[in-house]
Each structure stands twice: as structure tokens, then as C-alpha cells.
Amino acid sequence: MIEDKTPQRTSIGQLGEFGLIDHLTQHFEITQESTVKGIGDDAAILDFKDKKTVVSTDLLIEGVHFDLAYMPLKHLGYKAVVVNVSDICAMNAKPTHITVSVAVSNRFPLEALEELFAGITLAAKEYKVDVIGGDTTSSQKGLILSITAFGEADQEEIVYRNGAKESNLLVVTGDLGAAYMGLQVLEREKQVFQVNPNSQPDLDGYAYLIERQLRPEARKDVRTLLYALEIKPTSMIDISDGLSSEIMHLCKQSGVGCNLYEDKLPLDPQFISVCEEFNIDSTTIALNGGEDYELLFTIAMEDFDKIKGNPNFTIIGHMVQESEGIHLVTRANTKIPLKARGWNALQEE
Ligand code: ADP
Ligand code: MG
């Protein structure tokens, strides 16, 4: 369905392992002061001086985490970086470095890997992270991509999942559910295409949703925004599996309960209209659709004035005693226990 822009096919075997690594990594630039040694030796060397080092890693498997039928390789490379950078942001740390490991089958020509690395290079530039190493190897089947991200923060800046307190306000950045609906639109177009390969994808009116799915951004800006407002969240997590599931994590680890308000959920108008078109309940998707990569955090009640009316943030609930449980307060003002179904479970329905 996505047009093949790489008619030229150079076998990766032609370059040899070292030639391939040199070729793929040639555009990476070093900009971080903390990078002592990047690509080129047996290991990279970083010097964070008196800062703490924050590390997170993710593994992406073709057919499990992404489908190349509608995910262009350049987008995949970009998104793989974003997903990891988002985890560093969720600790309230500054992302600084990544390593990139790939395993590919010989089904992929060099031009395909160039696309993948173009996306990685673009994201590294955008988020100002140095690519300092990785590994390149072959797989029997499909593409496997693993990225590890590093970041730095002063000890006092770091925000954990377990610091939420009773009566804290629950805040989310951006809007919810759009990435999941973007995936539904792409899946539908893929099916149409399988039935009729001559059909052109009809994606007008879905641009925002598809962008949220194929080209998400990590909220690197939130650390700066909160710093300027003189707010330090008491707990924080990024939304990868879905709002409900992330709320459960914060509550469980912090030993608190939560009241979440349905009428406060930030939803994009395009998201609402496409939910109607698909005849899906928008609240269900906002709660359980994943991959929004927004940040969810709690703040002290005293910080309310600093945040109210700020377009970057929406207060969606507040924390309560653990014994009160975790509830969604609906528009009809009834309280229903929140269930974390996660987006994988949603897909199986
Ligand atoms: P080793 O034999 O120690 O595994 P390699 O020959 O695999 O070393 O890698 C040589 C250098 O290239 C190392 O600095 C390694 O981190 C880097 N490198 C290898 N593959 C990648 C990749 N996919 N992305 C970024 N750097 C890579
Ligand atoms: Mg190696």
C-alpha cells in the first residue's frame, strides 16, 4: 500500500558486516558534551559528571510490534527512537544517547536499511541524542530492532512512579486515543488493499490520527515546561499501553486510589468523529488505546494555580485513599471501577 520508493536493491551481503555498519552509521553526529567515545571501539564511553544516568531499553519485532505493510521503514526508525526517548522523559530526565541494534533477514536490501537509518538519524537530530553504538546482525526471518536510551538528571529532579499522594491532582499532556484510531484506519485500508490491490488508500480526513500512529513524538518539552512553572510532579509515567493501565501502575506503586473524570478526558475532534464512524465508544479507546506517548503525572494540590488553563496540560482526576479504589466517574456521574485492558487486549476483541 505504501509506494515502494526503493526500486534499487543492493544485497546487504555485498558490503560485508563492517562495510554495512560504516555505511549505516556514517550520518550520526556527536553533539552531547557527555559523549567521550561514540561509535568505533569495543564500547562507548559516557561521562555524566555529578548527574545520575537514566537508562531504558525496548525491543521491536516485525509482525508483533509493527507491520511493514503500512509502516514505512523511515517512520519505524523514527518511532523506535521516540518510544525510548519517551521513557527517559517519563523519569523527568533529559535524553542524551541511544544505541541501536538491528537483526535483518536477507529479504531486506541495503536501500531498506538506509530508510530505517534515515528515520533513526532524523529522530536523533530532532531529540538531540547521540547514537553511540549498537549491533548489526542477521535474522532468519523479519526485522528485529532494539534501542537503548540514556538520559541525565540531577538526583532531585528524577520522578518515579511511586510518589503519588492522596489528594494529588492527576494530569495528562496532549490528547488521548488518536494513535489507536490511526491504527484502525490503517488496518482497514490494508484490508481494502488486500481485496483490491489497485485501490488507492483513502486517508483524507484521517491525517492527525495516522500521524499519531506512524510518527508519534515524545514529550521532551514537558520537563522544561514544568521546570519553568516550578512544578515537580510527585509521580510520572508515559502512556504506552493506555491511560487506564498507566493509572493502575501509578496507583499500585504509590499505594493510592484514583477518581478519573470521563468529561475531562482530552480528545481531539478528529478522534471523536472517527470513533463515531467506526461505531466505537471514544471513552473506551481514550482509556485503553495505547501508543499516545503523552506523559501522565500527579502534582500537589497547591500547584493547581500554576497549571490551570495551561493548554499543554489537562487535569483529569485526583488521587484518593487506596481503600477507596480506582474509579471512572462517568458523565452521568456514576462511579465504575477502572479496568486496565491494555491495547493488546483491545486488539484481540
Ligand atoms: P563488536 O565486534 O565489538 O560487536 P561491531 O563490529 O559490531 O563491534 O561494531 C563496531 C562499532 O559499530 C561499535 O562501536 C558498535 O557499537 C557500532 N555499531 C554496530 N552496529 C551498529 C548499529 N546498528 N548502530 C549503531 N552503531 C553500531
Ligand atoms: Mg557487534
For the Cβ of 39 lying below 6 angstroms from any atom of ligand 1, the answer is yes
Closest CA to 52 of 160, 155, 161, 149: 155
Please state at what angle helix 207-214 crosses helix 178-195, rounded to 10 degrees.
100
47 SS3 class: coil
Starting from the CA of residue 144, give the closest ligand. Answer: 1
Residue whose CB lies within 8 A of the most ligand 1 atoms, among 81, 84, 136, for a mutation test: 136
Cα of 17 from ligand 2 centre, angstroms: 9
Cβ-defined contacts of 139-142 (< 8 Å, 24+): 139/103, 139/104, 139/105, 140/105, 141/105, 142/61, 142/62, 142/63, 142/105, 142/107
Cα of 300 from ligand 2 centre, angstroms: 47
Starting from the CA of residue 99, give the closest ligand. Answer: 1
Interatomic CA distance for residues 262 and 340, integer angstroms: 15
pLDDT of residue 210: 96
Residue located via cell numbers 540514556: 150
pLDDT of residue 220: 98
pLDDT of residue 349: 46
pLDDT of residue 14: 85
Starting from the CA of residue 101, give the closest ligand. Answer: 1
CB 123 within 8 A of CB 77: yes
pLDDT of residue 342: 57
Look at the alpha carbons of 297, 298, 301, 303 in this order and tell me if their dihedral is positive or negative.
negative
Domains and CATH numbers, the chain: 12-157 (3.30.1330.10), 169-348 (3.90.650.10)
Interatomic CA distance for residues 115 and 127, integer angstroms: 19
Question: What string of pLDDT tens digits covers the 349 residues of the chain?
Answer: 445 555 678 888 888 888 999 999 999 999 999 999 999 999 999 999 999 999 999 999 999 999 999 899 999 999 999 999 999 999 999 999 999 999 999 899 999 999 999 999 999 999 999 999 999 999 999 999 999 999 999 999 999 999 999 999 999 999 999 999 999 999 998 888 888 888 877 788 899 999 999 999 999 999 999 999 999 999 999 999 999 999 999 999 999 999 999 999 999 999 999 999 999 999 999 999 999 999 999 999 999 999 999 999 999 999 999 999 999 999 999 999 998 775 554 554 4
User: What are the C-alpha distances in Å from 102 to residues 21, 96, 147, 169?
Assistant: 11, 20, 9, 41
For the Cβ of 25 lying below 6 angstroms from any atom of ligand 1, the answer is yes
Residue nearest to atom 4 of ligand 1 (CA): 135
For the Cβ of 133 lying below 6 angstroms from any atom of ligand 1, the answer is yes
pLDDT of residue 204: 83
**CA max distance for the chain:** 65
Interatomic CA distance for residues 18 and 23, integer angstroms: 8
Cα of 48 from ligand 2 centre, angstroms: 25
Look at the alpha carbons of 199, 200, 206, 210 in this order and tell me if their dihedral is positive or negative.
positive
Cα of 89 from ligand 1 centre, angstroms: 26
Please report, in range form, the residues annotated as the binding site for substrate. 65, 291, 343
